[in-house]
Amino acid sequence: MPILEAYGLTDAVLAALAELGGDDSQPARIITGVRQNYRVITAGGELPATATGRLQFDTDESADLPVAGDWVAARIFDDQAVIHQVLPRRTSLMRKSSGRGSAQQVLAANVDTLFIVQSLDRDFNLRRLERYLVMAREGGVEPVILLSKRDLHPEEDIPSFVAQAQAVSPDTPVLVYSAQDSSGVDAIRARLRPGQTFCLAGSSGVGKSTLINQLLGESRLATRPVREKDARGRHATTRRELILLPEGGVLIDTPGMRELGVLAEQSSLESTFPEIEALAPGCRYGDCRHQQEPGCAVRQAVESGDLPRSRYDSYLKLARELAYNATQADQLSRLKYRRAQKRLFKSYKVILQRKPRF
């Protein structure tokens, strides 16, 4: 398989590149990097790369800068690539940047499948799982739930973990495995496909890099034991990176995330809580938010015990967070509009102030 096809090159990428015109640009995919310090894969192999000044400084949204998994238009000079355009993303995994405001951060682009990894220790948390599911759905990425470290529990305890994860998302595959004794790893390997892009995400220390090493059959990535006292990872992985699989296809390893602020449309929230969506038509008001409204079928289901309170609470919490982030995003885009206007005005001023030349 030619190298770029192994890395997932498709006709759609080539068509997008052709549409840009300029016959000296080539398709390249971002392996890793930020700002001025990227590595890309090109038809001729892996190269260091920088983004053109125009791309760096004329990009209003940092979310539009290249990230791991992006296909870009690049020009190649000697042993260096220059990225001049990010090609449209087919899918993207996005979260709210940590800290205040609601800027988005793109974690990875053009991912087909997101492996959401939780370990069967203190990390196992259904509410957090829901957040990752919303992120996948919002980005157009297929989720698969991986429960690691099954070796920490006696065999008879495992089905209950699987059932709990499955209940949160009935249509999503749930796979349990142990990287320690390799049990269940083959079932994960069976999901890998040439030409496809897989991403692993989850808290620090759940075993993302360890799993990738097993799938590769070599210890390529650094891993690190978790702290004894609170079972927390210590951020062994510090960058997002695309790794080519021996069978073709790529995996993106990501550093563990401490918090996952969601940025999503209401529809992604609803598809993560299908049972709430199914109840909503029974509410008295068409725009019921299932909070204080009279005649709310969702609240009735909570009171009668048909809908677990934990699911309802989790739904409300995420709905409020989405609403809050949406108003922040509105404010941000108004601010950006004003800034763009100012810039335009300044450039007019420069033109107007230019002395006529005869």
Ligand X SMILES: Nc1nc2c(ncn2[C@@H]2O[C@H](COP(=O)(O)OP(=O)(O)OP(=O)(O)O)[C@@H](O)[C@H]2O)c(=O)[nH]1
**What is the contact surface with Zn ion in residues (CB under 5 A)?**
283, 288, 290, 296, 298
Residue 252 in contact with ligand X, rule: CB under 6 A: no
Applying CB under 6 A, among 210, 268, 272, 325 the residue interacting with ligand X is 210
Phi, psi of 20 (to 5 degrees): -70, -25
**Cβ distance to ligand X smaller for residue 186 or 265:** 186
- Binding segment for ligand X (CB under 6 A), chosen from 11-19, 221-229, 243-251, 300-308, is 221-229
In the chain, which ranges are continuous DSSP H helix? 3-6, 11-20, 53-57, 126-139, 158-168, 185-189, 208-216, 266-272, 274-279, 297-303, 309-353
Q: What share of the chain is helix, strand, coil (3-state, %, to 5)?
A: 40, 20, 40
Contact region with ligand X (CB under 6 A), list: 74-82, 198-206, 295-303, 320-328? 198-206
Do residues 72 and 9 lie in contact, with contact meaning Cβ atoms separated by under 8 Å? Answer: no
Backbone angles phi, psi at 232, to 5 degrees: -90, 145
Residue (204 or 325) nearer to ligand X, CB: 204
Q: Is 226 in the site for ligand X (CB under 6 A)?
A: yes
Quote the CA–CA distance of 105 and 150 in Å, as a whole number: 32
Tell me which of Zn ion, Mg ion, ligand X, none is bound by residue 298, counting a contact when its beta carbon lies within the kind-specific cut-off of 5 to 8 angstroms: Zn ion
Q: From 173, 171, 174, 165, select the one nearest 127 (Cα to Cα).
A: 165
Binding site for Mg ion (CB under 5 A): 208-209, 236-237
> Please, which of residues 125-154 interact with ligand X by CB under 6 A?
148-149, 151-152
**Closest by CA position to 148, among listed 187, 113, 99, 109:** 187
- Closest to Zn ion by CB, 283 vs 319, is 283
Query: In terms of CB distance, is 221 or 332 closer to ligand X?
Result: 221
Among 33, 139, 143, 255, binds ligand X (CB under 6 A): 255
204 binds, among Zn ion, ligand X, Mg ion, none (CB under 5 to 8 A by kind): ligand X
**Between 4 and 298, whose beta carbon lies closer to Zn ion?**
298
Whole-number CA gyration radius for the chain:
23
Minimum CB distance to Mg ion smaller for 238 or for 353: 238
CA 19, 25, 28, 33 dihedral sign is negative
Q: Does 237 bind ligand X (CB under 6 A)?
A: yes
Residue 339 main-chain phi, psi, to 5 deg: -65, -40
CB of 232 to Mg ion, least distance (A): 13
Binding residues for ligand X, rule: CB under 6 A, are 148-149, 151-152, 178-180, 204-210, 223-226, 233, 235-237, 255-256
